[in-house]
Amino acid sequence: MGETLQAPRGTRDLLPAETGRWARVEAALREVFARYGYGELRTPLFEHTELYVRGIGEATDIVGKEMYTFADRKGRSLTLRPEGTAGVVRAYAQHGLGQGEAGEAKLFYLGPMFRYERPQAGRFRQFWQAGAEAIGYADPMADAESVAMLVAALRAAGLKDLSVDVNSVGDAETRAAFRARLVSFVEGWSGPISAESRARCAVNPLRILDSKDPQDAELVAAAPKVTNHLGTRSSAHLASVLRHLDRLGVPYEVNKALVRGLDYYTDTVFEVLSADLGAQSAVAGGGRYDSLVGQFQAQPRPAVGWAIGLDRLVGLLEQRGLMEGSGGARAAVCCVGSRAFARGLALAEELRGLGVRTWFDPSGRRSLKSQFKQADAEGCLLALVLGDDELDRGEATLKDMRKGGQAPVALAGAAAEAARRLAGD
């Protein structure tokens, strides 16, 4: 026999015990997207490499060292999508999705992303995001609505106490001036600094502020903050976003150390962090990106959006015991003897036809005790029990799996009676 192959490092199989929980989280998120008027967009899993180099920025970690890039059979450079925003903007421009003069569109997506990162708890090479992008909206109200929707989405998925970290990274000019200020500060710094931050100083100094390395804690605390150097327009924009969030009662904190790892952000940036996630603490992140659309079509368009990391969200919900029950079977058909099993098969079909999740053992060989045990593990609330004696009387026994009581029911009406009881449950 050959050696058993394992899934590639950083990827995993989501098994039936988990996919039910994932599906419920996804359904809750879809419902929120619909409530806010977002339409689903499904973009390809791979795009021309150039899209990400131009969109995300050459100096970022993602483009610099985390992309799955390959040449196809004709030698074109393609890349597995490391995030969703660049693809959404490409599709928006390609299909002219913008409505009206401002080119407005509200789009959401849900699917796997790929980054060649060092795998650890909460960090995978294939991971899932649910994201939302509002294109064509410049007003701070759009930022506030987007953040409010993020909180609504996380709450709908089951995350209870959460707070959004909000900051502004200013416009392109502010950032260029600030970058120079930060570089000279870091160059003059004589305290501890990690090797990674030292290297970043030359390539993408803003990311130093985002360092989670304990060696950099002192440096990050002492470093100048871009929020303290915003131009008048950016300051007013941030103040207005915060005012709207206050009015909406959205829980947030201004975190001046927050800078995001992608180059396309302008003004507002935000993240939802959870200490429970350890080093990989961000459940979701996003912000405004007013210069990205103009890179892919003649008409520039302001935009704001975010993405939730589903692996982290589901992990957090499981960790906190916030996942509802298994969503498994609700009824069981348990039988003794081959005649009863044959009739039980039909009875199970009848129940399923009535929309009831039904467990039945088609091996026809298990003891009644073993069937009850399994039915209980499958989350069944009641069981219809069939033996040869019951069959001869044209009856089944309806057993309450929770309370343990049982009573005979006419076989002909047994499925309908079980369905009726479950509906009243």
Stretch that binds ligand HAM, among 16-24, 117-125, 209-217, 368-376 (CB under 6 A): 117-125
DSSP reduced 3-state for 268: strand
117 near ligand HAM, judged by CB under 6 A: yes
170 near ligand HAM, judged by CB under 6 A: no
Contact call for residues 177 and 278 (beta carbons, < 8 A): no
CB-count exposure of residue 65 (10 Å: 0-12, 13-18, 19+): exposed
Among 29, 67, 81, 83, binds ligand HAM (CB under 6 A): 83
137 near ligand HAM, judged by CB under 6 A: no
136 near ligand HAM, judged by CB under 6 A: no
38 near ligand HAM, judged by CB under 6 A: no
47 near ligand HAM, judged by CB under 6 A: no
Q: How far apart are the first and last CA of the chain?
A: 51
**Widest CA span of the chain, in angstroms?**
92
Please tell me the distance from the alpha carbon of residue 308 to that of residue 122, in angstroms, as a whole number: 13
Residue that the structure tokens 């970058």 belong to: 179
* Cα distances (angstroms) measured from residue 135 to each of 39, 215, 241, 272, 401: 12, 39, 17, 22, 52
Stretch that binds ligand HAM, among 39-47, 283-291, 338-346, 367-375 (CB under 6 A): 283-291
Residue that the structure tokens 């050696």 belong to: 3
Stretch that binds ligand HAM, among 204-212, 307-315, 366-374, 406-414 (CB under 6 A): 307-315
Contact call for residues 107 and 98 (beta carbons, < 8 A): no
Closer by beta carbon to ligand HAM, 119 or else 394: 119
Among 287, 302, 315, 344, binds ligand HAM (CB under 6 A): 287
Closer by beta carbon to ligand HAM, 226 or else 307: 307
H-type alpha helices, 210-261: 217-222, 232-248
Closer by beta carbon to ligand HAM, 286 or else 387: 286
Interface positions with ligand HAM (CB under 6 A): 83-85, 115, 117, 122-124, 127, 129, 131, 133, 261-262, 282-287, 289, 305-307, 309, 311-312
